[in-house]
Chains A and B, each alone.
Chain A
Amino acid sequence: MFKAIWNWIQTFSSPKHFYPMAGRLIPWFAVASLLLMVWGLYLGLFVAPPDYQQGESYRIIYIHVPAAWMSLFVYVVMAVSAAIGLIWQIRLADMVAAASAPIGAAFTFIALVTGALWGKPMWGTYWVWDARLTSELILLFLYLGYMALQSAIEEQRTADKASGLLAIVGVVNIPIIHYSVEWWNTLHQGATVTKFDKPSIDTSMLIPLLLMALAFKLLYAALVLVRARNEALYRDRNRRWVRELIKNLG
């Protein structure tokens, strides 16, 4: 049975077999993401009550927190994929890493900007160099660094090695970001949900938050599959399976 599973993994990890499979999954992830987003936004913007301290401004939470969670999640996926690519030379893993980088960078940017727009009315400042904000900004630089290396290095395998190494080394930033609010004195508040305790947020607010988090995850799934397919087509552009496929596209 394990042989069968191993064979399945080996088949699926060839870009040629990954391509059609991913193509079938994308619409499901996209539609599911959209539905959850509509539902989450409806509950978050119209049903959940205002906060007793922050009033209506807290509603930024429904995009700020999911985006921040995604910025971390996508980075870990990217780093693990890069490691798999480096260690086992599985090219699809490098494609997934490269496909993930711009998506993760976008989520990081959203987290930083919505955080700033939340901080101004609540803390009185758009920015402060505390541990949480600074380490999240460094995360953005790591994503951009990955993308820059991919772009700057002509030979694909070398590019993957360099950017992959950056991604793996940068993983140390992830626990730093998460624990920053515990280890240091930060303006950013402590963990409300991601801790080993009951969430200290009301259920009426927690539900839309989790819905949006799931919606963002599904959106990432759809987008990374689209972009990984693009990487596969591009990197294998001289191979028969791509040429046949493009010819059949008409």
Chain B
Amino acid sequence: MGGYAFYVWTSYGITFAVLLALIVTSIRQRRNVIARVRRALRREALQQNR
């Protein structure tokens, strides 16, 4: 990259790392919400069985 390799590749690297983190956290957020609702459902089912 004509001597600018560090700047160019670090830029691309950070960009894609951040975008990847966005994607991963969005999917994780979904899993967490679903797990949370499942837990609440289970708790209620248990309470009803009492």
**Contact indicator A110/B41 (Cβ below 8 Å):** no
Q: Which one, A5-13, A54-62, A151-159, is touching chain B?
A: A54-62
Q: Please report the C-alpha to C-alpha distance between residue A226 and residue B10 in the assembled complex, in whole angstroms.
A: 28
Q: For B14, what are the chain A residues with a Cβ–Cβ distance below 8 Å?
A: 110, 113-114, 117
- Decide yes or no whether B46 CB sits under 8 A from chain A: no
Main secondary structure of the interface of B (DSSP, over half): helix
Q: In chain A, what residue has the closest Cβ to B35?
A: A246
Please give the number of chain A residues whose Cβ is less than 8 angstroms from any Cβ of chain B in the complex. Answer: 35
* Contact bitstring B8-26, A, C-beta under 8 A = 1, else 0: 1011101100110111011
How many residue pairs link A and B with beta carbons under 8 A? The number is 87
- Given known A109-B18, A233-B33, contact A247–B41 (CB-CB < 8 A): yes
Task: Give the interface centre of B2, B10, B11, B23 by most chain A CB atoms within 10 Å.
Answer: B11
- Given known A109-B18, A247-B41, contact A121–B23 (CB-CB < 8 A): no
Within 92-113 of A, Cβ neighbours of B (below 8 Å) are at: 102-103, 106, 109-110, 113
B-to-A contact residues, CB < 8 Å: 1-5, 7-8, 10-12, 14-15, 18-19, 21-23, 25-27, 29-30, 33-34, 36-38, 40-41
A-to-B contact residues, CB < 8 Å: 50, 55-57, 59-60, 63-64, 67, 102-103, 106, 109-110, 113-114, 117-118, 120-121, 219, 223, 226-227, 229-230, 233-234, 237-238, 242-243, 246-247, 249
